[in-house]
Amino acid sequence: MQGDIIRRLKINDQFQGARYELFVAATCVKAGFGIAYEDEKDKSKKHPEFIATHKETGQKIAVEAKSKHREGVLGQ
């Protein structure tokens, strides 16, 4: 996953989405969740960006991160 996110950060039209996904993942980690990324290459089914599991309660949530592109913002 790390190599994929670094690659996407270097591509101008993918930077904003990759940056936002990192923000969302970091927020979940700060809130006490562990992160398990989904296989983005598996096109046979729809899936979220990652599954976050709370370290104390074991509660799992599926997390999908979307960022809207706006003209003039972050290289758009």
31-60 per-position pLDDT tens digit: 999 999 887 777 777 888 899 999 999 999
As a whole number of angstroms, the distance between CA 11 and CA 27 comes to 23
β-pairing, 60-63 vs 50-54, is: antiparallel
SS3 72: coil
Does the pTM of the predicted model rise above 0.85? no
By C-alpha distance, which of 28, 27, 7 is closest to 18? 7
**Closest among 33, 69, 35 to 49, alpha carbons compared:** 35
